[in-house]
Amino acid sequence: MKIKIKKTLLNQGDEAKSQEVMALLEEIETGIGLVDWPKGTGQFSIYPEKMSNGVTPIKTACMTHLREQGWTLEQRQRVGNEKVPGPIDAVKSLRSGRIFAVEWETGNISSSHRALNKMALGMRSGEIAAAVLIVPTRELYKFLTDRVGNYEELAPYFSVWEHPHVNGLLMVIAIEHDREDSTVQRIPKGTDGRSKKRKKKAKKKARK
């Protein structure tokens, strides 16, 4: 998997620019580079058919790498006044006690907005020091589960999350396949949110 775009929305304060944070950012980028399909090939090849590939399995290699580097996966992190804290894909504590948060988008564009909102709120309330949202480019998006959040659709709203008076590092990383290949298997569906909803609807119809 390759990194196509790295967009910095916020980079304020000494901690955001520290060697500690930069080292963790490097761990994230290394993890992205480890994502391949088919597994074991060392490159990410996508079956080039519209909306024919699943989303969630793509992030597995990156999350495995982060866990091996000491990150905690799927940690429920309270941000601001959240009553029910939702899980964050990967977090790692900094020496300051604040966290570095990583979200790999598998939901729709509304999910992408919520993720960035949570990250920005966490910086304002002091829980989060740095955060990265990983999303596909439009070129990759068109081959994935319909309506998954993507960089180009999110980009017009970036100014919403640019807070010059808040300390922290907030980035969006856009990822893209290395090549198109009609001989590889499609990435399995059924583990992303929209696929689950479709399955539930199908079961309800079957019962009627």
**Catalytic residue set:** 105
Write the burial class of residue 203 (CB in 10 Å: 0-12 exposed, 13-18 middle, 19+ buried). exposed
Half-sphere exposure of 3 (CA within 13 A, CB side): 19
Task: State how far the Cα of 166 lies from the Cα of 131, in Å rounded to an integer.
Answer: 13
Neighbours of 182 (CB within 10 A): 9
Q: Which residues contact 144 (CB under 8 A, 6 or more apart)?
A: 51, 53, 54, 55, 136
Rounded CA-CA distance 25/107 in Å is 23
